[in-house]
Structure 1
């Protein structure tokens, strides 16, 4: 069970082994089949990452709709929401480092949630995400943050099948893939229903192919605390 108070205080939830183990090989195969070069996207991607088109795959769509993921996303967003995007990403050997940053809410604080579904074991050696717990906002104000300050960053590590969900305003960033070991993931975006029109306007730029009309209601999912 997930503690509501802890979730809002820290701005993130790491769900251990949320993806069924017998789905992982299929998801990895889908990732590999969907990889296209950084120059083939409508907006070119960085050369130190692999990116995969995966959003029409039925198993990927099932992952995006796992009840535990929808429960956390709904609790953080706090209103009706939709699945806006899912794609595959992997840092290449020697690449993938990101400075600490926020993805940022669009119309109001808390209107976007990001999920990272790890398809391989992950840790500091192969470019895993680091986060700063509680850095999203105190109350209804965005918390100031020095993005060059790594002293509060928590380096994540875990197994394939884990899922990290976090408020888009939470400070985070991938680290460098020093080892070159595989670190494939699905990057999922859940947005408040009020953002649907603006997301439709940019869908082609983000290479979104799936139908995003389905709506989810937070009341359909229960958390404790």
Structure 2
């Protein structure tokens, strides 16, 4: 059960073991099969990452529609929304570090939500995503939620394959360096409020989106 007040206050939810265990091997195979080098994507990808084109895989699509995940996304967006994209990402050994950043809502706070689906166990050693709770909305008397250079409140959770991290796109977050070299495959899923559909279609090709995005979900 999702605590909506906590979700809106913190800007994220970590859904432990949300994926059926017997789906994980199929998801890993889909990831590894879909890996493409940077120059095979419509726009270049980061050189210290492994990227996978897998949005047509039926198990991947089923994950994007898991009831617990959709419930968290709907609670954050608060209006009809659509599944905009899903791709695979994995930091290469020694790579993957990002500075804290926001992906930013497009038109209003809360209109874009991301989800990270972990296909391998994750933690500080293999570059688990870190984030700063509550930084998705401006604080009273400030025009900026917080300084992206300040990592003092950043959390870096660890967990098992099958967990899903759902977060508001405005939440400060970042991947970390994969110092151990252990695999950390994940699906990065994007959901957007229905009014953003026309803008989504204009850039879908550049983002490598092949799947049907015409479906709608109610919060």
Same fold, judged at TM 0.5 (above) = yes
Which runs of structure 1 show a deviation greater than 6 angstroms over 4 or more consecutive aligned residues? 139-142
Q: CA 1:11–1:73 in structure 2 vs 1: closer, same or farther (change >3 Å)?
A: same
> Could you tell me whether the CA contact under 8 Å between 2:139 and 2:145 is conserved in 1?
no
1:67-114 CA-to-partner distances (Å, cap 9, x unmatched) read: 001000001000000000000000000000000000000011100000
Equivalent residue number for residue 20 of structure 1: 20
Q: CA 1:35–1:56 in structure 2 vs 1: closer, same or farther (change >3 Å)?
A: same
Q: CA 1:115–1:14 in structure 2 vs 1: closer, same or farther (change >3 Å)?
A: same
In the TM superposition, residue 146 of structure 1 has moved relative to its aligned partner by 1.3
Q: State yes or no: 1:39 paired with 2:39.
A: yes
Equivalent residue number for residue 149 of structure 1: 150
Distance 1:49 1:138 in 2: 32
In the TM superposition, residue 139 of structure 1 has moved relative to its aligned partner by 7.5
Equivalent residue number for residue 105 of structure 1: 105
In the TM superposition, residue 40 of structure 1 has moved relative to its aligned partner by 1.1
In the TM superposition, residue 164 of structure 1 has moved relative to its aligned partner by 0.1
1:97-137 CA-to-partner distances (Å, cap 9, x unmatched) read: 00000000001110000000000000000010001000000
Q: State yes or no: 1:191 paired with 2:192.
A: yes
TM-score (norm 2): 0.97
Q: CA 1:2–1:142 in structure 2 vs 1: closer, same or farther (change >3 Å)?
A: farther
Equivalent residue number for residue 7 of structure 2: 7
Matches within 5 A, 1:58-73: 58-73=58-73
TM-score (norm 1): 0.95
Equivalent residue number for residue 161 of structure 2: 160
> Could you tell me whether the CA contact under 8 Å between 2:85 and 2:189 is conserved in 1?
yes
Tell me how large the CA RMSD over aligned residues is: 1.2
> Could you tell me whether the CA contact under 8 Å between 1:118 and 1:183 is conserved in 2?
yes
> Could you tell me whether the CA contact under 8 Å between 1:118 and 1:186 is conserved in 2?
yes
Equivalent residue number for residue 172 of structure 2: 171
Q: State yes or no: 1:76 paired with 2:93.
A: no
Q: Secondary structure at the match of 2:130?
A: strand
In the TM superposition, residue 144 of structure 1 has moved relative to its aligned partner by 3.0
Equivalent residue number for residue 57 of structure 1: 57
Distance 2:143 2:9 in 1: 13
Q: CA 1:142–1:187 in structure 2 vs 1: closer, same or farther (change >3 Å)?
A: farther
Equivalent residue number for residue 85 of structure 1: 85
Equivalent residue number for residue 221 of structure 1: none
Count of aligned positions: 218
